[in-house]
């Protein structure tokens, strides 16, 4: 039985199925920490190095498990640190509950040490539900509503508990009296499908289309079989938003890969030539990579009506769960006998992968980053979990990595923040200790916050049934994604004072803290280095000492982008010689890939 508010708080979270909490201690949550000590059988508390990483890990937990993620931080500075990771969850529509401390009630309003207006601070990121406990009677309803609303709205919620309230006697059952609230646990996701009339309208549009293009996102995560069946019936191809990369496997010849700036040419071509767009569980933001308005008829499925016709004016909008809606739609569809559109897509698929391989095999000084991803892709273990960061590493992840059934992959999608890949991989390992997570990051993100979390890995890795956990770091001594954005989007030369990074010894650092470090800077060593990393008896930092001059150009270069690119080179970019050399190779391979 509970004794304090903190005890009851934790017991109630356990009733909701919470088994892991990511956080960092502080005196503003001393009562809750005491409760964790008394309830060690209920929870695994993961002590991170920074509260931002706790929020990232809670976000990754919900992305990879479909459970609610929970993070814990102290008042004031600790609560503030959570925000970036929580916005990651909010913007990618994932349920996370943040629990934070606050100054004692008697001190609030007195400009007390570490007193921050947390109610206002969290009002945007946790706007659906953020409340402060002022009485032990509230705790049951605050936990129940925070959990239920997070799941129902697929969003972030927040419970603020002043430090003195944490130590008060628990009230497990509010009195049967006026001004009390009596809540319960439990939430089941409803079955949401459109009306039969709307399904028939959608089917009519899809049957009329001669060149249908499917675009899937994270909302179609559990609809793999249904998406493939619909694509087969319609004789069409499937492109993927980056968060939807795991939805359908890349070894199917009608899966054109990712779309957008880091997408593939087959996806771009399919969108530019289609007469019907079928968007499933995606809010892919870049309209220039979708059909031109008026070119294609549109059908969209989304569980949230606010997302419908947001990126393209759709003819039929279907509010529903992707899996259930596709299952309801399939009986109204007919198999198209004309497979010429599918055949064209499959030819584009085969041609594209020849180009990709040829580009990966081109030399660069000291090492082509594309080769690192090519060799990894061939060796990915079954059911591995990939996490990407906001940088060029994710460009290569989007274009080169071939996902197979059973694999998972995610990253910070809508927020696109740096520093998510490492905590995502760590959270994946806690959730699935028998699987192999692989973080794909750059030196910028690793220096920003990833290096400290290697201490978290060193603290916990011996607990895992399979110790393999790999952190790929592209060490190109440059904030490379922004450097290329400066060149291509604005036509500016690289500014060394903002873009150059220190050359840090990542592999040696791993060795120094009891992990395994592998450093590779020659193309002939890449394959064997991956073999060593994937067979290691402990977590690995795989340091790839790569060139920053391999262009991460969009699949289709516009005239404006080409003009900006040329302008950057004419402005005496310090890497001009290397860029020209590597870009010419890439362009040549895009036209006439080498054979053999």
Q: What is the pLDDT of residues 129-139, one digit of tens each?
A: 999 999 999 99
pLDDT at residue number 482: 86
Residue 171's pLDDT is 97
pTM greater than 0.75 (yes/no): yes
- Among candidate residues 427, 419, 572, 428, the one with its CA nearest the CA of residue 494: 572
pLDDT digits (tens, 9 = 90+) for 38-87: 999 999 999 999 999 999 999 999 999 999 999 999 999 999 999 999 99
How far apart, in whole angstroms, are the C-alpha atoms of residue 465 and residue 458? 15
Q: What is the pLDDT of residue 592?
A: 44
CB-based burial, 399-431: b 16+ in 10 Å, e otherwise: bbbbbeeebbbbbbbebbbbbbbbbbbbbbbbb
> Distance from CA of residue 492 to its chain's centroid?
30
279/317 Cα distance (integer angstroms):
10
Mean pLDDT by 10 residues, the chain (596 residues): 92 98 97 97 97 98 98 98 98 98 95 93 98 98 98 98 98 95 96 97 98 98 98 98 98 96 94 98 95 97 97 97 98 97 97 92 95 98 97 95 98 97 98 98 97 98 97 95 82 89 97 98 98 98 95 69 64 70 54 42
Query: Does residue 239 contact residue 390 with C-beta atoms inside 8 Å?
Result: no
């Amino acid at each position: 039985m509970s004794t304090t508010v903190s005890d009851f708080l934790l017991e109630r979270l356990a009733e909701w199925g919470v088994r892991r909490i990511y956080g960092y201690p502080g005196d503003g949550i001393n009562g809750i920490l005491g409760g964790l000590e008394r309830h060690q059988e209920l929870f695994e508390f993961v002590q991170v190095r920074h509260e931002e990483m706790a929020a990232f890990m809670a976000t990754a937990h919900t992305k990879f498990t479909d459970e609610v993620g929970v993070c814990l931080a102290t008042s004031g500075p600790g609560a503030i640190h959570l925000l970036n990771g929580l916005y990651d969850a909010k913007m990618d529509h994932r349920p996370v509950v943040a629990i934070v401390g606050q100054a004692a009630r008697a001190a609030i309003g007195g400009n007390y040490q570490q007193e921050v207006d947390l109610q206002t601070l969290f009002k945007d990121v946790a706007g659906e539900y953020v409340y402060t406990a002022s009485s032990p009677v509230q705790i049951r309803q605050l936990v129940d509503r925070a959990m239920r609303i997070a799941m129902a709205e697929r969003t972030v919620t927040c419970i603020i508990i002043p430090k003195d309230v944490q130590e008060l006697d628990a009230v497990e059952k509010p009195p049967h009296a006026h001004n009390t609230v009596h809540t319960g646990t439990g939430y089941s996701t409803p079955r949401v499908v459109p009306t039969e009339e709307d399904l028939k309208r959608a089917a009519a549009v899809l049957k009329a289309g001669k060149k249908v293009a499917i675009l899937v996102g994270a909302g179609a995560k559990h609809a793999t079989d249904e998406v493939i069946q619909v694509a087969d019936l319609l004789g069409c191809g499937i492109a993927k938003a980056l968060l939807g990369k795991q939805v359908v496997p890349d070894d199917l010849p009608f899966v054109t890969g990712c779309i957008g700036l880091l997408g593939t040419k087959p996806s771009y071509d399919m969108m530019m030539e289609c007469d019907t767009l079928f968007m499933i569980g995606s809010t892919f933001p870049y309209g220039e990579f979708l059909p031109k308005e008026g070119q294609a008829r549109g059908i969209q499925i989304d569980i949230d009506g606010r997302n419908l016709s947001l990126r393209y004016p759709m003819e039929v909008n279907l509010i529903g769960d992707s899996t259930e809606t596709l299952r309801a739609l399939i009986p109204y569809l007919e198999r198209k006998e004309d497979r010429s559109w599918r055949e064209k897509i499959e030819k584009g698929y085969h041609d594209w992968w020849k180009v990709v391989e040829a580009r990966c095999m081109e030399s660069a000084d000291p090492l082509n980053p594309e080769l690192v991803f090519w060799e990894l892709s061939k060796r990915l273990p079954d059911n591995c979990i990939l996490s990407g960061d906001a940088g060029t590493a994710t460009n290569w992840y989007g274009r080169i990595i071939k996902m197979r059934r059973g694999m998972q992959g995610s990253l910070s999608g809508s927020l696109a923040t740096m520093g998510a890949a490492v905590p995502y991989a760590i959270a994946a390992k806690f959730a699935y200790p028998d699987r192999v997570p692989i973080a794909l990051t750059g030196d910028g993100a690793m220096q920003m916050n990833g290096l400290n979390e290697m201490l978290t890995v060193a603290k916990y890795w011996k607990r895992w049934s399979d110790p393999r956990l790999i952190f790929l770091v592209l060490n190109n001594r440059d904030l490379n994604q922004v450097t290329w954005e400066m060149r291509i989007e604005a036509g500016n030369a690289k500014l060394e004072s903002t873009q150059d990074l220190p050359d840090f010894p990542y592999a040696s650092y791993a060795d120094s803290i009891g992990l395994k470090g592998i450093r590779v800077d020659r193309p002939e060593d890449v394959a064997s280095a991956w073999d060593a990393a994937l067979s290691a008896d402990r977590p690995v930092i795989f340091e790839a000492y790569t060139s920053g001059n391999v262009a991460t150009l969009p699949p289709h270069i516009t005239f404006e982008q080409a003009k900006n690119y040329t302008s950057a080179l004419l402005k005496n970019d310090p890497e001009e010689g290397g860029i020209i050399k590597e870009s010419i190779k890439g362009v040549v391979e895009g036209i006439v890939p080498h054979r053999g």
